[in-house]
Amino acid sequence: MFPRSVDPVEVDALIEGITSSFKASTGSQPITRSVGSLMGPGGKAGEAGWILEADFPTLEDAMTALHADDFQEPKARTETLGSTIFLFEVREV
């Protein structure tokens, strides 16, 4: 999640860099981003302005993508902005 206070042009550039790095390290996995304003009570009152979601087939693939050399610069820039990164596994219910 990227803070609402960040310049949208900077967020777009970061998302492009992250997406490029993830696709290069794990192949073409679903990577999506929020479009427009976040909705609902949490979106309106919260600090998040944009959300990027990347899916990986396995935890090992996710860790490979997160440790890839070309991800380190976008990761550092993202952390400097005060973005929040969540890692979680999912299962069908």
Domain region containing 59: 2-80
Does some domain include residue 59? yes
Give the pLDDT of residue 39.
86
Exposure pattern of 24-62 as b/e (b: 16+ CB <10 Å)? ebbeeeebeebeeebeeeeeeeeeebbbbebebeeeebb
Does some domain include residue 87? no
CATH number of 18's domain: 3.30.70
Does some domain include residue 92? no
Element counts in the chain: helices (H) and strands (E): 4, 4
Does some domain include residue 68? yes
Lowest mean pLDDT among 31-35, 50-54, 57-61: 57-61
Q: Which of 37, 50, 41 is nearest to 7 (CA)?
A: 50
Q: What is the mean pLDDT of residues 56-85?
A: 91
Does some domain include residue 75? yes
Q: The whole model's pTM is what?
A: 0.84
If one counts the domains in the chain, the total is 1
Q: Does 67 score more than 90 pLDDT?
A: yes
Q: In this predicted model, what pLDDT tens digit does every residue of 21-44 receive, in sequence order?
A: 998 887 768 899 999 888 887 777
